[in-house]
Amino acid sequence: MDAVIKVGGSLAENPEALKALGFVLSGAAKKHRLVVVPGGGRFADAVRELDAKFGLPAVVSHRMAIFAMDQYGLLLSQVFPVAVACDSLGEALALAEKGKLAVFLPSKLLLQGDPFSPSWEVTSDSIAAYIAVRLGATKAVFVTDVDGIYTDDPKRCADAALLSSVSVSELQKMGKRTSVDKFLPQFLLQNWLECCVVNGNYPERVEAALSNHQTVCTKITRGQ
């Protein structure tokens, strides 16, 4: 397996850009063995809102958020050409070998055995990294609606600076959600995986990241 691509739910807010990303990924699937892991998007946001209103047990809101990933994944399977939704690791690998773009629906796998403690610190980012490890992928590409990881939230702080690279330990010291979830660095410290964060509104950057070409993104490094 060459790469797992986590497609953030925020990208669905720009349908034309999401379709363009799907077109590029479908072409890349003919050159690279790829599996897409969906984010949660508006589906997960609805869970967050309900959790805030009703104070749901963490295990319940966590499970609901996983089902939200399934829903977004079903959407992606219809938007992306040659994409096929699947819920088993074996099927995902088989589809990738055939040049198809497998969209992995994670609920079945995680309900059979969830390695994470239920928490909003664990989102689709950490889940995508876990699936990448289970698939034996050499890389995880986190595709979102910003250029990478910043020193602060670029949507709120005009002085936020893009980091071209950040080590896992540096990311952990930030102690907050950036453009990836708060738990991801802890997972990577225990399960190393080459990672980068890239803006899906520029599909050519995603393609470059898959081909190990230089592009605008943040690489998460293993070093100190």
What pTM does this model have?
0.96
Q: Letter for the amino acid at 164?
A: S
The mean pLDDT value for 88-95 works out to 98
Residue 82 has pLDDT above 80, yes or no: yes
CATH number corresponding to 11-221: 3.40.1160.10
The mean pLDDT value for 56-70 works out to 98
- Stronger pLDDT, 75 or 1, i.e. the higher one: 75
pLDDT digits (tens, 9 = 90+) for 23-33: 999 999 999 99
The mean pLDDT value for 115-127 works out to 97
Q: How many residues does the chain have?
A: 224
Domain locations along the chain:
11-221
- From CA 203, how far away is CA 24, in angstroms rounded? 6
CB 83 within 8 A of CB 101: yes
Residue 153 has pLDDT above 90, yes or no: no
Percent of the chain exceeding pLDDT 70 equals 99
The edge-to-edge listing of strands for the beta sheet with 194-199 is: 83-86, 101-104, 34-38, 3-7, 139-144, 194-199, 218-221, 165-167
